[in-house]
Amino acid sequence: MASLFAGGDNYGQDPTKNSLDALALRKRADIEFEKRNFVEGELLLSQAIDLKSFGGMHVTFKCRSLVRLELGNYSGALNDATEALALAPRYSEAYICVGNAFLALDKFDLAEQSYLAALDIDPSIRHCKSFKVRIAMLKEKLAAANRT
């Protein structure tokens, strides 16, 4: 019966258990994020990713991207958001994370392209307060860059 669970680095492990464990870790990381314990959140999300569960990995990478952005690890945040998109190419939240990382890296044109891609997938985000804040921040940074 073990052959049903064969494959990858988790040979012989129950993929359902891995998925449930990864989800539990992600939920714990959400709590740490709310408490602003970003280092602990990153650790929990990394553990969830290491489980290589069969579902929800794109969300876990997106969450770790958010945590890494808060920690100032902009290239790590960009890598995680890009990984989320590789797993789910139409995941608008991952495009927003890519845009946030590019914004933090002062790559304004790439940030704008990412935000537009997110809007293309889900036009309703145009009305979200957090998205409006990101667009306003992008406009401010573009204006400042054009003044120099």
Model confidence over 50-90: pLDDT tens digits?
998 888 999 999 999 999 999 999 999 999 999 999 999 99
Position 146 confidence tier, pLDDT thresholds 50, 70, 90 = confident
Contacts 24+ apart (CB under 8 A), 124-130: 125/92, 125/96
Domains parsed from the chain with CATH numbers? 13-147 (1.25.40.10)
Q: What is the pTM of this model?
A: 0.85
Contacts 24+ apart (CB under 8 A), 135-139: 137/103, 138/99, 138/103, 138/108, 138/111, 138/112
Model confidence over 115-132: pLDDT tens digits?
999 999 999 999 999 999
